[in-house]
Amino acid sequence: MDVPVTHPYALYCKGIQQLGVLQGDANGFFHPESSVTRAEFVGELIRLIGVRPSVHPVIFGECLRR
């Protein structure tokens, strides 16, 4: 884990990693100093609250053409 043991949030990071909520990358690193896009944040949030992806095809392009 790339969050130092002395960091104030280290216990929380370790806890969510052990629960399988956030795994980090293939090496278990969180990269806490990296930026996150809104889309990445929302994607993770939706995954965490258990919303399943739609089984219907995406229609955004059709909405824009109208």
CB atoms within 10 A of CB 52: 7
Q: Which helix (H) or strand (E) holds 60?
A: helix 60-65
CB-based contacts of 17, cutoff 8 Å, min separation 6? 1, 23, 24, 28, 30
Domain boundaries, the chain: 1-65
User: Three-state DSSP class for 27?
Assistant: coil
Q: Tell me what pLDDT residue 41 has.
A: 87
pLDDT tens-digit profile of 7-59? Answer: 888 888 888 888 887 777 888 787 878 888 999 888 888 888 888 888 888 77
